[in-house]
Amino acid sequence: MKSSATSRRGFLTVGAVAGAGLTLADLFKVRQARADQKNYAPIEAKAQSLIHIFLPGGIAHQDSFDPKPFAPLEYRGELGVVPTKIPGMQFSDTLPRTADIADRITVIRSMTHGEAAHERGTHNMFTGYKPSPALVFPSMGSVVSHEYGPRNNLPPYVCIPNQPNEFAGTGYLSSSFAPFSLGADPAAGGFQVRDLNLPGGVDDNRFGRRKTALEAVNDYFKKMEESDKLDAMDTFYERAYSLISSQAAREAFNIDAEPAELRDAYGRNEAGQRMLMARRLVAAGVRLVSLTYGGWDMHNGIAQGMRGSMPAFDQAFAMLITDLERQGLLDTTLVMVSSEFGRTPKINGTAGRDHWPKVFSVVLAGGGIKRGSIFGSSNAVASEPEDEPIEPQDLATTVYHQLGIVADKELMAPGDRPIEIVDGGQVRKGLLA
């Protein structure tokens, strides 16, 4: 398959360059273009959904999942280590609870790319591509949205609380595949998803009347005009109606329905409530939930910074894995913890660490990923990958594979350019159960 696709690319995609001059042929052209795109039969999706926990700023791998207790002090830093459920493996002592559930997760210690700027690194981790001057790539969430569409009346791609950065967006795909943002933080008191509920003073009855009126008003225009744009807008109105009218769908966003003890167990803070919300959403049918927590760009006083920010993450993440397992969701839910890069091997002059993309850690769990495993390793001072270096395109390809998407498939970018979902990535079998 690969080699025939390769030779086709050399000669046919060049011919598919377009952009102009069509009259009666649009429909056919689209079909034609589709025929030219690399396509694959569906594969089994081990993971029905993905929770992507992104730690913006670049979390220090040495002070979290890849400690180097035997390195000199200026490398290993101030934090100690704790043993984990994986025999012989240790985490930083800021992760005691995660260490306790380490037998259910896989830690990648050999993630690597060359981008030391926040936005470029973030781009790599959200799209699986290096930034290009000529094209903006879609995020994993938008690709999943594009490939699968909604499930159980719920939007396929949800961001908690908001779209975290520009690279979590639709790239060259239509903005129809944009994430649905909660627009409010589930940790905040009086949390409500933006625009999900009927406004005050409007009951179902009145909303029904409004809908009838809207249909009456739209009728005339519908008879006059025909356009794909109108159909697309209708689709989103239909989705909105089903979301508003489906009690089950709306209930997915109602974090207050979770038992108070469970909310406490996750932690009544941003990390805890966002992860709990994510679990609620995937349980209800959302395909990809993206959430962020904290700010990890610790150029100064990193030990103190980690001691401040990690406990909430540690508690919430360990609880998330436990909770997913308890609910029987862990096997079908892939959880990924990532960051745009790691941090410098040596502590700097202000007791912090600076940007370091050469090696860092990513955590995967559930959704057909190995349990209790360490994938790859960094060298003695955590400055370079030692075994099994893995780059963003391989990580993305593997994640897509678990979601049932062949990442070598091409999507159509403007100008009828077919572009692979991920270019040249490999499924890393060593990560899979």
Site for other proteins in 72-131 (CB under 8 A): none
Residue 178 in contact with other proteins, rule: CB under 8 A: yes
Strands 49-54 and 288-292: parallel
At 209 the three-state DSSP class reads: helix
Q: Position 246: which residue type?
A: S
130/51 Cα distance (integer angstroms): 22
Pick the binder of other proteins from 42, 87, 88, 229 (CB under 8 A).
229
Residues facing residue 342 across a β-bridge: 356
Pick the binder of other proteins from 1, 39, 204, 206 (CB under 8 A).
206
Size of the site for other proteins (CB under 8 A): 74
Residue 222 in contact with other proteins, rule: CB under 8 A: yes
Q: Which is nearer to other proteins, 89 or 154 (CB)?
A: 154
Pick the binder of other proteins from 198, 203, 204, 328 (CB under 8 A).
198
Q: Which of residues 29-68 bind other proteins (CB under 8 A)?
A: 29, 32
Mark the segment that binds other proteins (CB under 8 A) among 54-62, 110-118, 215-223, 389-397: 215-223
Dihedral over Cα of 10, 177, 148, 127: its sign: positive
If you write DSSP's letter for every residue of 50-107 in order, what string do you get? EEEEE-TT---STTTTS--TTS-HHHH-S--EEE-SSTT-EEETT-HHHHHTGGGEEE
Q: Which is nearer to other proteins, 1 or 214 (CB)?
A: 214
Mark the segment that binds other proteins (CB under 8 A) among 234-242, 247-255, 270-278, 363-371: 234-242
Mark the segment that binds other proteins (CB under 8 A) among 13-21, 57-65, 252-260, 331-339: 13-21
Pick the binder of other proteins from 80, 117, 194, 251 (CB under 8 A).
194
Residue 415 in contact with other proteins, rule: CB under 8 A: yes
Q: How far is CA 404 from the centre of its chain?
A: 15
Token pair 């670049």 in the structure block, residue: 58
If you write DSSP's letter for every residue of 153-177 in order, what string do you get? TB-SEEEESS--SGGGS-TTS-GGG
Token pair 């903006």 in the structure block, residue: 136
Pick the binder of other proteins from 42, 44, 88, 220 (CB under 8 A).
220
Q: Which is nearer to other proteins, 34 or 268 (CB)?
A: 34
